[in-house]
Amino acid sequence: MSSPDPITQLRAAKPAASPELRERVRALAARTPEPRRRFFPTRLSLRRVVLVAAPAALALALGAAGVIGLTRSGEDERVVSPPLAAAEKGAPTTSLQSGEAATPDQAATLPPTTGRLQRYDAELRLRVEDLDALSAATQRAMRIARSLGGYVASAQYDAPETGPGSAMLVLRVPTIRVQSAIVQLSGLGTILGQRIGIEDLQGQADTLADQITALQGEIASLRRQLETPDLTDDARAQLELQLAQARRELAEMRAALEQTRTEGTLATVSVSLTTEQTARLQERGRLDRALDRALDALAWEASAALIALAIGGPLLILAVGVWKLAAVRRRRAEERLLDRSE
Amino acid sequence: MTIPSTRAQAAGAERPSFAGVAEAHLDDVHAYLVYLTRDRVLAEDLTADTFEKALRLWHRFDPRRASARTWLCQIARTTALDWFRAEERRRRREQATAREDLTDSVFGEGLSPGLESALRALTHAEREVIALRVLLDLDGDEAARVLGISPTNVSTRLSRALKKLEEKVGTHVLA
């Protein structure tokens, strides 16, 4: 007859406590009163901690941000408009930020190259206080141009009854004096923007001069041919036609060279003046300011939390690792103890 | 009053009384300690110590975390380990000789000699897991909680222990 399987045997033969032991334990439970439960649970489950602590921490952070936002929302805030962008023209340019006081060093940073023809043009945007200052600055700009040997190419002036006033001047000043002009003009108001463009014209002038020289030679040759006594009528007519053509071309080239020299000799400085205040005082609602401050505070709290996590995170991981290692060592020690007791 | 024997039952039931828990699980704790110590007399003493300690810690028992039986087995194991440590220190001091011979039927009346012998040959870890999973019928999670190991480890140990038992019982029968 086969024995029942081990599991069945084990369960059937489960050792029972002796009657003496049973009485002993009953007496223990009956004699000693049960201790009272503590008011607070001695163990907090991780789940309970997370469910309570996380929302509480979040509420605290939001509350603190709100308090900060409300308490600091009374501060005034002035918003300054961004400076006007300097225009690009393909040539080296420079620009200044708005609101900066003009100084001679800041006003002119690209001097023309001496000994070469260059097209030099500059733009200045200036702000003046009011219409009186606008008028004075406009007149002063014209005098500056004339004092430097230049002239006013065009001028526009607008001083309405309401709203900002403006003036637009195009000045031509000798290129060799353009730096002085820019410095003096910059002092008429607050620089809002500046642009300088330089284009070399010397090559173009040299080419024109060479072409002029060649044409002059050609004209001289044609004239000598016309002085030949035995020219036929047709040949003479043809030569005269060519001579006239060459003379026309020579005149055009001389005019172009003159134009080029003029462009290289006189710089163009465009000056625009305005009384418009680009720094506007924006009165924002208190709620908007409070919200901004609160968001700033939240951002700061988030940064602080991230920093704390970055610093504390590795330490926490290390602590958990040490705790787990200690638990493993304790369990192994217990197993060795039980093995030794075999 | 019904004593909840599983954590699920305990989660829904009210907290039981200590007297009721002691009456319901006395045999379970005793059987576990018998298997752990292989000594009935020692197991009885440790059982009483276990319930004394359990009474002192009764206010910390949370039926939502573990059943009363699991909780008592954890205390029983700790009590046994404390005894073994003290015994080891005593032996080192007194250089005691070998322990008295075990009684013939330590693990319960009615076991075949082969099975008795096979149980004695198991390691303490194997006997523990058999006591908890087979005798006390704790599930894998509860047994893991008592032993302080993972449920996977519990399954592996139980499988190894039962295989050893079957091999040894089979060998004895053939002999």
Contact between A335 and B44 using a beta-carbon 8 Å cutoff: no
Q: B69 vs A341, which has greater pLDDT? A: B69
- The C-alpha atoms of residue B26 and residue B50 are separated, in whole angstroms, by 10
Among all residues of chain B, which has the CA nearest to that of A45? B65
Alpha carbon dihedral B51, B53, B59, B63, in 10-degree steps, equals: -50
- What percentage of residues in chain B have a pLDDT greater than 70? 83
- What residues in B contact A27, CB-CB < 8 Å? none
Chain A nearest C-alpha distance from B112 (Å):
8
pLDDT, residue B115, reads 86
Among all residues of chain B, which has the CA nearest to that of A8? B134
Q: What is the ipTM of this complex?
A: 0.76
A24 closest CB neighbour out of B48, B88, B107: B48
Asked if B141 reaches chain A (Cβ–Cβ under 8 Å), the answer is no
Neighbours of A206 (CB within 10 A): 13
Contact between B27 and A341 using a beta-carbon 8 Å cutoff: no
Q: Strands A266-274, A166-174: parallel, antiparallel or unpaired by DSSP?
A: antiparallel
- What residues in B contact A46, CB-CB < 8 Å? none
pLDDT, residue A182, reads 93
Residue B151 clears pLDDT 60, i.e. is over it:
yes
pLDDT, residue A276, reads 87
Asked if B58 reaches chain A (Cβ–Cβ under 8 Å), the answer is yes
Please check whether residue A200 is in contact with residue A118, taking contact to mean a CB–CB distance below 8 angstroms: yes
Q: Which residue has the tokens 């828990």?
A: B21
Contact between B58 and A35 using a beta-carbon 8 Å cutoff: yes
Q: What is the pLDDT along chain A (342 residues), one digit of tens a residue?
A: 456 678 888 888 888 999 989 998 998 888 665 566 655 555 566 777 788 888 888 888 888 888 888 777 655 444 434 333 333 334 444 444 444 444 444 565 578 777 888 899 999 999 999 899 999 999 999 999 999 999 999 999 998 888 889 999 999 999 999 999 999 999 999 999 999 999 999 999 999 999 999 999 999 999 999 998 888 999 999 999 999 999 999 999 999 999 999 888 899 999 999 998 764 444 456 777 788 888 888 888 899 989 998 999 999 999 999 999 999 899 888 888 888 877
Confidence of residue B25 (pLDDT cuts 50, 70, 90): very high
Contact between B124 and A35 using a beta-carbon 8 Å cutoff: no
- The C-alpha atoms of residue B126 and residue A339 are separated, in whole angstroms, by 11
Contact between A17 and B27 using a beta-carbon 8 Å cutoff: yes
- Residue ranges of chain A whose CB lies within 8 Å of a chain B CB: 3, 5-7, 9-18, 20-22, 24-26, 28-30, 32, 34-38, 41-43, 45, 327, 331, 334-335, 337-342
Please check whether residue B79 is in contact with residue B47, taking contact to mean a CB–CB distance below 8 angstroms: no
Q: Strands A190-200, A266-274: parallel, antiparallel or unpaired by DSSP?
A: unpaired
Chain B nearest C-alpha distance from A324 (Å):
12
Question: Phi-psi category of B111—alpha, beta or left, where left has phi over 0 and alpha has psi -120 to 50?
Answer: beta
Contact between B59 and A9 using a beta-carbon 8 Å cutoff: no
Contact between A43 and B107 using a beta-carbon 8 Å cutoff: no
B81 closest CB neighbour out of A9, A45, A334: A334
**Which of B:67-96 have CB within 8 Å of A?**
81, 84-85, 87-88
Selected for mutation to probe chain A from B135, B146, B160 (highest A CB count within 10 Å) is B135
Chain A nearest C-alpha distance from B44 (Å):
7
Q: 3-state SS of chain A: helix, strand, coil percent to 5?
A: 55, 15, 30
Contact between B48 and A26 using a beta-carbon 8 Å cutoff: no
Q: Strands A166-174, A151-158: parallel, antiparallel or unpaired by DSSP?
A: antiparallel
- The C-alpha atoms of residue A117 and residue A327 are separated, in whole angstroms, by 88
Contact between A14 and B111 using a beta-carbon 8 Å cutoff: no
Among all residues of chain B, which has the CA nearest to that of A36? B59
* Tokens representing residue A179 in the block: 């730096």
- What residues in B contact A29, CB-CB < 8 Å? 18-19, 22-23, 51, 55
* Tokens representing residue B6 in the block: 């599983």
A7 closest CB neighbour out of B22, B55, B134: B134
Confidence of residue B36 (pLDDT cuts 50, 70, 90): very high
pLDDT, residue A278, reads 61
A29 closest CB neighbour out of B22, B112, B169: B22
Please check whether residue B169 is in contact with residue A3, taking contact to mean a CB–CB distance below 8 angstroms: yes
Q: Which residue has the tokens 């096979």?
A: B118
Among all residues of chain A, which has the CA nearest to that of B23? A26
